[in-house]
Amino acid sequence: MINIALPKGRLGEKVYALLASVGYKCDAYDENSRKLVFRDEKGGVSYFWVKPTDVAVYVERGAADVGVVGKDIIEDGSPDVYELADLGMGKCRMCVAAKNDWYDDTSRPLRVATKFVNVAKKYYAKLGRDIEVIRLNGSIELAPILDMSDVIVDIVETGTTLKENDLKVFADIFPISARLVANKAAYKFKNSEILTLAQKLTAEVTK
């Protein structure tokens, strides 16, 4: 039995469709159900859907053998898991953005609003720039609009949110996509099952 944690939402549904197409279909799965675990004894697969930011926790602690998680969450949380494949889905980028007319006043610490506190700290430490981090949980773009922060470190997908709020990208930090990750112990004890799954997924997304 291989246990797979998927992120709830559109990305998780897409990843499930991909897994089903390469032989990991779960007959018990019903997207309208409120059930949290779906097992397919025959196919030897068990799925559970969790909050996207929690997938790495379930995998790191071995509750799931493998999972699918965004590169943003891996970079920010540094979970102790193996990253096995880039699924090429959920593509976006981690950026620094600010008001269109923003300029950096280097005489004082930069106020950075973000959900990705560790990403922001690492990025500005490398640049040797002092920052004050303002941790938010969503609608990060509001912070510079209300002058609560100078910049934001956030995900940009289409750029629409920035554009509609008179903000723009000032720097790209790294590209993001969905990654297949594995629990380290499971990778040892279920090695051939996990490698087979990773290879099938990679073959499908690169064909």
**Chain positions contacting ligand PRP, by CB under 6 A:** 138-141, 154-161
Closest contact distance (angstroms) between CB of 155 and ligand PRP is 4
Contacts of 146 (CB under 8 A, 6+ apart): none
Closest contact distance (angstroms) between CB of 86 and ligand PRP is 20
> 191-205 and 10-21 helices cross at what angle (nearest 10)?
100
Tokens of 144: 């510079």
Nearer to ligand PRP, 45 or 73 (CB): 73
Closest contact distance (angstroms) between CB of 61 and ligand PRP is 25
Burial 19-34 (b: 16+ CB within 10 A, else e): beebebebeebeeeee
Tokens of 204: 């499908």
Residue nearest to ligand PRP (CB): 138
DSSP 160-175: HHHHHTTEEEEEEEEE
Nearer to ligand PRP, 115 or 190 (CB): 115
Nearer to ligand PRP, 84 or 133 (CB): 133
Task: Quote the CA–CA distance of 160 and 169 in Å, as a whole number.
Answer: 11
Closest contact distance (angstroms) between CB of 7 and ligand PRP is 12
Nearer to ligand PRP, 115 or 179 (CB): 115
CB count in 10 Å sphere of residue 17: 10
Closest contact distance (angstroms) between CB of 167 and ligand PRP is 10
Q: What angle do CA 197, 203, 204 make, to 5 degrees?
A: 90
Nearer to ligand PRP, 65 or 76 (CB): 76
Nearer to ligand PRP, 47 or 116 (CB): 116
Closest contact distance (angstroms) between CB of 115 and ligand PRP is 6
CB 199 within 8 A of CB 85: no
